[in-house]
Amino acid sequence: MKQQLDLEVKKFFDLLANTPSIKVKKQLLAEKRDDGNVKKFLDYLLNPFFVTGISEKKIRKVVSVEKSVHFHSFHELMTYVRKNHTGSDDVLANTQAYLDDVNPELRMFYIGIIAKTIRIGCDAKTVNDAFGYEFIPQWEVQQAYQIGKLKMNENEWFSLSQKLNGVRGTYFEGKLISRQGKEFIGLEHILGDIQQLIPNSDEWVIDGELIRKNAEHVSDNENFRLTTGILSQEDGDKRQIQLVIFDILPKAEFLRGESRLRYRDRLEQLKDLEQRIQRRNLSNLRIVDVLYTGYDMSMISKCLDRMIAEGKEGLMLNRNCKYFTRRHNGILKVKQFYTVDLEIVDLEEGTGRLSGTLGAFVVRYKNNYLRVGSGMTDDQRKKFWDDGLNLIGRVIEVKYKDESYDRRTGLRSLQFPTFVQLRELGKQESYD
């Protein structure tokens, strides 16, 4: 009887898979919102936190261990597999013994559920929308915005690190999980290092990027291609892959969707981890290189230039914000800057430490007036201020991230304008 009910679920899943319309899929799912058996199978398949540790290939593995547990239903088996998600020979033997006693059609269905390979054309969000509540938890990690039109405060602390070119991997409850909520298989060498690094590692979430170690120093793009090739294999030697860690927070805070600590404090935790990694010589883990921390926005373009010169994609900018399990502007992607030549129309004196020197150039850009106050050394600030009115009408080269709009006036503006150099006499403004 129980297997007959499971066969009805299989037929329903086949119907979902063969229904192209999302609207119709939701209608079909809504009709099953009170069907406990359907809901169990949906949870097995789509819940990113329901991990079995068994792939389709592993289920076919020949093991010499005898079965030690008898199951009265597939649900009893799944409870056992979830609790013992190691994929060990003992677990495989018990799983195989149960599957050998069911009819072939249902056996293939069960294997697809255990390995999470069945495709029904629905994700957790679709199911939750159809049911009218968050029945299946969704896997969410912190994601960055492009720096775009964000305006940072002039005296705002931030950090810069290389934008890693790998595959997102987040350590959670003894597993490495992709950004899509799928478990990576074959990375036991990384898991072992994490467990050495943090004895109570299951109480923490470690966020990072899976990247090939690249001992031969191939290009960033080539190494990314090799990384994805290795990770896409169901089996094979994956010991070339390491985890580059860029954030850490307690599991309880991750599940709540928000960290208690802001980034500066979490960065101190990363520094501590880095020392422990080095002391233990854990070669499968690395902390992301932090290129700069401070308040000088001119460092954004300087560090970006360095990354581009090294063939890297760009930078990640962390503001002193909490970790949120969503996309937010506390973490930003920074890519190529541009330059323009702009005419100086005025000079502003600096304040505080910069009193008696140049605080900022006032320049004209497309009928708007902008301040360019970063990118100069103290010596340059003194010299420029001493030159005073002689600089009015001269042109400076300005580096910027993107064009934006001045919210107050509606006129065009520049994001992160940074002084590069004073142009030669006679040089005309140019920004087209």
Structure tokens at 321: 């914000």
Q: What is the average per-residue pLDDT within 291-305?
A: 91
Q: What is the average per-residue pLDDT within 367-376?
A: 88
Q: What is the average per-residue pLDDT within 213-241?
A: 88
Alpha-carbon distance 141 to 97, whole Å? 37
- Please spell the DSSP secondary structure of 178-192, one letter per residue: -TTSPBP-S-HHHHH
Segment 43-102, tens digit of pLDDT: 999 998 888 888 888 888 888 888 888 999 999 999 999 988 777 889 999 999 999 989
pLDDT at 1: 65
pLDDT band at 285, cuts 50/70/90? Answer: very high
Residue, of 215 and 160, whose pLDDT is higher: 160
Report all structural domains of the chain as residue ranges with CATH numbers, in order of start. 2-131 (no CATH), 143-334 (3.30.470.30), 338-422 (2.40.50.140)
pLDDT at 104: 87
The residue among 245, 195, 185, 241 whose CA lies nearest residue 59 is 185
Say which residues have a Cβ less than 8 Å from residue 178's Cβ, sequence separation at least 6: 167, 168, 169, 184
pLDDT band at 121, cuts 50/70/90? Answer: confident
Name, of 100-104, 139-143, 290-294, the range with top average pLDDT. 290-294
Instruction: Report the predicted TM-score, pTM, of the whole model to 2 decimal places.
Output: 0.69
Structure tokens at 106: 């249902």
pLDDT at 432: 57
Give the least confident one: 36-45, 109-118, 158-167, 411-420: 411-420
Segment 6-24, tens digit of pLDDT: 999 999 999 999 998 889 9
Beta-carbon count within 10 A of 296 CB = 12
Structure tokens at 7: 């066969």
Q: Strand 285-287's sheet: what is its strand order?
A: 175-177, 167-172, 204-212, 241-250, 285-287
Alpha-carbon distance 40 to 201, whole Å? 29
Run of H or E residues at 360 = strand 358-365
pLDDT at 290 over 60: yes
Helix pair angle (74-83, 36-46), 10° resolution: 30
Residue, of 39 and 311, whose pLDDT is higher: 39
Segment 381-427, tens digit of pLDDT: 999 998 887 888 888 989 887 787 776 777 888 888 889 888 777 66
Mean pLDDT over each residue of the chain, to the nearest integer: 90
pLDDT at 190: 97
Q: What is the average per-residue pLDDT within 180-191?
A: 89
**Helices within 233-281 (DSSP H only):** 251-256, 263-280
pLDDT at 182: 82
Alpha-carbon distance 233 to 311, whole Å? 27
